[in-house]
Structure 1
Amino acid sequence: MAKNALLEIKRSLEAHVGQKIMLKANGGRRKTIERTGVLEETYPSVFIVKLDQEQHAFKRVSYSYADVLTDSVQVTVCNDEGQVRITYIQN
């Protein structure tokens, strides 16, 4: 079941490659890291985000689909119709 959930998250992210996204990641010790960038690529286990250069010291970051599944990372896609959050909801 978890494998299907990861595949479902991967497929939903693949539909937004090249679009601007916002990330909220758990930084530990009650810290939340917020980043913006462009979803650059999806791979079998991870996805890559190219960050906005004027705001961040790093050029790219990667997160696993399991991070999205466990809610360690929240991905919000910014498009013309508004913002859509990528999540997995168990039935």
Structure 2
Amino acid sequence: MPESIVEIKKELDDRIGEPVLIKAQAGRKRVATHHGVLSKTYPAIFVVHLNDGNGAPDRISYSYTDLLTHNISLAFGEEED
């Protein structure tokens, strides 16, 4: 991932509509994993529509700062493990 919020937003703007795997810190030694599609970007946040099917909310939003500080990680399409 790029190393500034402006670069992160620009990269995500280019990937709207792509499938994404999100790994987010959920507490001590816990990681939440979500599958979805990057749907929108805003000046301070981006929105992912989830297709987990586990009763979780339909969409989730994160700030670009979450990516910058490595609180979450994104893997798009063929980059998914």
Higher strand proportion, which one? 1
Partner of 1:32: 31
Over aligned residues, Cα RMSD in angstroms? Answer: 1.5
Partner of 1:83: 79
Query: Unmatched 5+ residue regions in structure 2?
Result: none
CA distance in 1, matches of 2:52, 2:22: 15
With structure 1 as the length reference, what TM-score do the two structures score? 0.80
Deviations 1:71-90 (A, max 9, x none): 00001111xxx217xxxxxx
SS in 1 for 2:70: coil
CA distance in 1, matches of 2:19, 2:53: 15
CA distance in 2, matches of 1:31, 1:13: 26
One-letter identity of the residue aligned with 1:11: K
User: Shift of the alpha carbon at 1:62?
Assistant: 0.2
Query: Unmatched 5+ residue regions in structure 1?
Result: 85-91
Aligned residues: 78
CA distance in 2, matches of 1:56, 1:24: 18
Give the 4+ runs in structure 1 shifted more than 6 A: none
User: Shift of the alpha carbon at 1:30?
Assistant: 1.2
Deviations 1:25-81 (A, max 9, x none): 000121100000000000000000000052442100000000000000001111xxx
Partner of 2:5: 6
Partner of 1:48: 47
CA distance in 2, matches of 1:54, 1:20: 15
With structure 2 as the length reference, what TM-score do the two structures score? 0.89
One-letter identity of the residue aligned with 2:11: S
CA distance in 2, matches of 1:5, 1:53: 29
Bigger radius of gyration, 1 or 2? Answer: 1
